């Protein structure tokens, strides 16, 4: 079960979720560089533990994504996070959406911490439900609640390194062991 971590707010503090068991890390640089209006983009970093080839969800997804400048950027972000690859997209919301949509389809389930960015909450609670993906929101500090929320059709556990609005920090190591 992949553990997906939004490390946007953790980035300035050099939190490296992959070293603590995360499988996929997403960033939304617009949240802390110039506010929400800045168009810097989002990034998805793969730890190499999730088998994208077996999932059938890999390869170039759009020709304009492959250019040398972007390739250098993606490789540097992957190296900073300790991952094997990265994908730069237009926004942090796009990075989160790409990741969840690549992991879950109609009939699937996600476990997510309750204290997450409002846009992430709306994606999981309102948008993806229209496509048949359900989410159970849990107190990420209650490890039993996290474990009990996992169902046979659960495709990922979604956390943020610094939860919103409380800036609470989940125990990534413990949740990775559960996932």
d(CA 115, CA 59): 33
Between the CA of residue 173 and those of 20, 47, 66, 67, what are the distances in Å?
5, 15, 34, 35
Q: What SS3 state is found at 110?
A: strand
Instruction: Give the tens place of pLDDT for each residue, 41-71.
Output: 566 666 666 665 666 555 544 455 555 567 7
Task: Report pLDDT for 31.
Answer: 45
pTM of the model: 0.70
Half-sphere exposure of 112 (CA within 13 A, CB side): 24
The radius of gyration computed from the CA coordinates of the chain, to the nearest angstrom, equals 15
d(CA 93, CA 13): 21
68 compared with 156, residue with greater pLDDT: 156
Instruction: Give the tens place of pLDDT for each residue, 115-145.
Output: 998 999 999 999 999 999 999 999 999 999 9
């Amino acid at each position: 079960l992949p553990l997906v971590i939004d490390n946007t707010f953790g980035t300035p503090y050099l939190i490296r979720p992959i070293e603590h068991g995360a499988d996929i890390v997403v960033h939304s640089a617009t949240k802390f560089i110039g506010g929400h209006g800045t168009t810097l983009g989002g990034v998805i970093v793969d730890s190499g533990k999730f088998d994208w080839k077996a999932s059938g969800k890999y390869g170039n997804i759009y020709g304009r994504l492959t250019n040398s400048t972007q390739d250098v950027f993606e490789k540097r972000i992957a190296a900073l996070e300790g991952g094997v690859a990265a994908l730069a997209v237009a926004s942090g919301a796009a990075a989160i959406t790409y990741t969840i949509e690549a992991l879950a389809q109609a009939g699937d389930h996600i476990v997510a911490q309750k204290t997450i960015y409002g846009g992430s909450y709306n994606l999981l609670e309102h948008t993806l439900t229209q496509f048949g993906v359900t989410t159970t929101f849990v107190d990420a500090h209650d490890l039993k609640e996290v474990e009990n929320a996992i169902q046979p059709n659960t495709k990922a556990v979604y956390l943020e390194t610094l939860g919103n609005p409380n800036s609470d920090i989940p125990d990534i190591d413990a949740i990775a062991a559960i996932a």
